[in-house]
Each structure stands twice: as C-alpha cells, then as structure tokens.
Amino acid sequence: MPVLKLSVGPEVLAVIRLAADAPIPVWASSAKGLMSVTRTAEELSIVCDEQVVPAGTRIVTGWRALKVQGPLDFSLTGILASLAIPLAIAEVSIFTLSTFDTDYVLVKQDRLPIALTALRQVGHTITVD
C-alpha cells in the first residue's frame, strides 16, 4: 500500500443531511475552507465548517479533515485502503470525500490523536495546520 503525505485542516467540520430536493443553502456556499455538496436520489449531503450551519439542521458535528497531498493520478490504487485499514484497526470511524485532485478522510475531532498515531505507525507523514 502507498505511503502518503497528509495534512490536517484547521476547520472543525459538520456533515449535514437535507432533503434530496432541497436547494443548496446560501450558508453552505459561504463557508470558508473545505466544502462539499453531494446530491443523490435520497438526500443532499453537505460537508462544511460547522460554524455556519443554522440550528435545527440535521447535522453531525466535530469532524476534522485529513487531506492526502495531491494531485493524485486516477490510475493509483489503494489510497483510501492505506488510510482506512489502519484507522479501522485503531477503531476510528471515518467519512471520506474525493475530489478531482485528491482524497479527504474525516475523523471525529476527539479521535484525531488516535488517528494520527495509527497513520504514522504505518509510515504516513502528517502535518497539522
């Protein structure tokens, strides 16, 4: 499996669930830092800075993002497995996102120290912003 260079972003993120036909909220579009919007037939999921999410929204807060330093070639294999396997062994739950250039693994903030230790033990290099 590949050995990766990762960085931990400064934002504390939220994962939000809205109705599948909901419009993308203005508050999500104005979020600084990492923001992702995914629409399926079942839901609209948004990941963004938890500070911008209004009360009453279906939300899971307290996530930190580990960014794989890219860009990554689409032919590479095992990128997420090289992260997910040691984190699963360390009993750290993850939420993943991929972009054109790279991958992100989100872990709960209170599990971040355990996640960083587990990933460093398998050879990954990590910087914390």
Residues 6+ apart with CB under 8 A from 99: 36
DSSP per-residue codes, 22-73 = PPPPHHHHT--S--EEEE-SS-EEEEEEGGGPPTTS-EEEEEEEEEEPS---
pLDDT at 9: 94
pLDDT tens for 44-88 read 999 999 999 999 999 999 999 999 988 888 888 889 999 999 999
Domain count along the chain: 1
- The range of the structural domain enclosing residue 105 comes to 5-128
Distance (Å, rounded) from C-alpha 56 to C-alpha 80? Answer: 33
pLDDT at 30: 86
- Whether the predicted pLDDT of 1 surpasses 80: no
pLDDT tens for 16-41 read 999 999 999 999 988 889 999 999 99
pLDDT at 21: 97
CA angle 7, 11, 17 (to 5 degrees): 115
Burial of 84 (0-12, 13-18, 19+ CB in 10 A): middle
User: Half-sphere exposure of residue 19, counting CA atoms within 13 Å on the CB side?
Assistant: 3
pTM of the model: 0.93
CATH number, domain containing residue 38: 3.30.2130.10
